[in-house]
Amino acid sequence: MSAPRYGAALNPSANLILSGGSPQPRWVLVGGDVVVDPGGLVSMDVRAVVEESRELGRDLARRAGIPVPSPV
């Protein structure tokens, strides 16, 4: 459940069902530049972006009064 497609992971059970999907592409080129290779996204630190988005999602849920489970 650490892939970016699982979003903020506020509800791991729902995310597992709703955020699954087709296989990831092996290669993506934009304007002739490789942005995804078989190792993943090459233009940014995906783990850092995912962790920040999850942190922001948990914070937003707390501020909205939504119960937030502990990070997975």
pLDDT, tens digit, for every residue of 4-56?
665 656 666 666 666 666 677 889 999 999 999 988 888 888 889 888 988 89
Nearest to 2 by CA among 15, 43, 14: 15
Domain boundary assignment for the chain: 4-63
* Predicted pLDDT of residue 15: 64
Write down the pTM of the prediction: 0.53
**In this structure, are residues 34 and 42 in contact, taking their beta carbons and an 8 Å threshold?**
yes
